[in-house]
Copies of this chain bind each other. A is one copy, B any other.
Amino acid sequence: MSQNFETIAESKAILNAIPEQWRLNITIPAAEEQRDITGKYIQQFLTASEVEITETDAVGILEHTTTGKWSARDVTEAFCHRAAIAHQLTNCLLDIFIDVALEHADTLDAYYHEHNKPISPLHGLPISLKDQFHVRGAETTMGYVGWIGTFEGQKGTGKERHFESQLVADLRQLGVVFYCKTTVPPSLMSPETHNNIVGYLFNPKNRHLSAGGSSGGEGALLSLRGSPVGMGTDIGGSIRIPSSFNGVYGLRSSTGRLPYERTPNSMDGQESILSVVGPMATTLRSLTFVMKALLSMQPWLHDPMVIELPWRDEQASRLQATIEKLGSSEKLSFGVLRRDDVVFPSPPVRRAIEMVVKALENAGHEYCLKVIEWKPPPHSRGLDIAVEAWMYEGGEDIHNAFGLSGEPVISHISRRYGNKPVEQKRASDIAANNIARRKYRKEYLDYWNSTANLTHSGQPVDAFISPVSPYGGTRPNTYHYVTYSTIINVLDYSSVTFPVTYVDKNVDVADDGYVAANPADQQVFESYDPEIHDGSPVGLQVVGRRLQEEKTLALAKVITDLLV
């Protein structure tokens, strides 16, 4: 270390990458003055045309860019501007590369001009990237000060600013324009987003609260409409928690559906619970559109971990056929997880669940829906398996990466990993955990199958509805209980997070006199304050079986259509 970590962190100078005319010359109000900086607040810094473009979803944007109605340059510029404002309000970026982006947009426009057709299905769509993906023209920090100016912590590899993650290369080939990298907690192993480069990330919808993590920068940027679609990753809730906290949509796909090739990670080679890639977006249909486009690239030809499983439209159409068979014995059915075996969710989360249940039950006559209580094998057992997997090598990789610059270990990370590595697990410990995971999955599968006895159709439930988080938002350093999201990683199920409501202090009153069942329950109970949480988005997840991304997205549409 020739420099101290603060100097290296400052060298990142993201503001300098923002053109003078886009710099905010205001004093940013405190959260007490301006709790919500989304919507009208951020619009004041943009032109009407920029607002129109940036408040159009990905599918809408593509309707314009693939027909020549909007130029890629105009779209890119609008999102660059809005992202630049978003960053100045929240520190949600770790990089922005406007010139590179505009140059790329120009080549797309030239192509359109010459051929009078789009280059590919995602022609001119800007997509933001969690600062874990490698993209040409930018660097990757994964939240570590020690990665600044390096390739994954190493200098002089020749890969700096050249190397590209497979997912990024595929999106580029589909016509996507890249323009920014969003902030993350170092190591990504946290449900909050805080690093020693740009600090703590607050929720743009309620700046008293966390934006969630680890794909927190994506969540905040999408919330502020500084991006139409972002790519995140999820090993314990890292796509779904920030989606839920920021009122956007997110897909946690099953392992082997999307390419992770050439994307760095923490504790790489730990394969008991694998991190997965997934899109986050401002609308549900954007997730579906991007997934379909990505699978059209046949990612299994470029990433050996991807399963040869093209997009299956028939999963969605089968579902549609079921819905349309009114009065037949075939019905959609859902499980609903009102609480797990340890923690009772906060009042706004409970209300969100009841909103969905009511919407489904009200539609029961028309759509033949049925909702049953979800009583699976204890989720606490599943969590133990994930926690064990995360600790296999005792935090060596993470502490090495913090050590590169000597930066202090962020408190959410040290809560799990301490301040130095602990003893590694042995092969037989890992084997035992793999067996425990297999057995847990088997029990859960058997439970799911057993719901055939409870539905009208005699078929097991199509999916279950669950909180993503027991919290209706969290204040900094208070996100402790991750089981609601992490259990899905243990099971490797498909999960779509969707917005449901906002905390309403008048409705979601605190549970006075609630007697907590255990310390985790007590912590969640105590963390909720209606006054402070008021206005925070609350999302839920609909969880399908493993590798049923198409069906789960279609089910999310059924639900969200009923919520409108």
Contacts and interface: CB of A to CB of B under 8 A. Distances in A.
Interface of A: 261, 267-272, 300-305, 307-309, 392-394, 396-397, 424-428, 430-435, 438, 441-442, 444-445, 449, 545-548
A260 to B, nearest CB: 9
Contact of A304 (B309, B392, B438, B548): B438
Q: Classify the secondary structure of A's interface with B.
A: loop
Given A267-B431, A269-B428, 7 more contacts: A269-B431, A270-B431, A300-B546, A303-B442, A304-B441, A392-B427, A426-B427
B434 A269 contact: yes
A427 B428 contact: no
A451 to B, nearest CB: 12
A433 to B, nearest CB: 7
A453 to B, nearest CB: 15
A227 B289 CA distance: 51
8 contacts: A269-B433, A271-B434, A303-B442, A303-B445, A307-B309, A308-B546, A393-B431, A396-B428
A435 B268 contact: yes
A393 B427 contact: yes
A32 B302 CA distance: 54
A309 to B, nearest CB: 7
A394 B427 contact: yes
Nearest to A548: B308
Contacts of A427: 270, 392-394, 424-426, 430
Contacts of A438: 304-305
A88 to B, nearest CB: 39
Contacts of A426: 393, 424-427
A200 to B, nearest CB: 31
A268 B449 CA distance: 26
Nearest to A441: B304
Interface-central residue, A301, A428, A433, by most chain B CB under 10 Å: A428
A302 B446 CA distance: 7
A58 B236 CA distance: 47
B271 A392 contact: no
Nearest to A301: B449
A393 B430 CA distance: 10
Nearest to A435: B269
Nearest to A439: B304
A269 B442 CA distance: 14
A487 to B, nearest CB: 14
Contact of A261 (B271, B442, B547): B442
A396 B424 CA distance: 18
A428 B435 contact: no
Contacts of A302: 445, 449
Contact of A428 (B424, B428, B442, B444): B424
Contacts of A269: 428, 430-435
Nearest to A460: B301
Given A301-B445, A308-B548, A449-B301, A392 B431 contact: yes
A381 to B, nearest CB: 15
A472 B271 CA distance: 38
Contacts of A303: 442, 445
Contact of A445 (B304, B307, B431, B432): B304
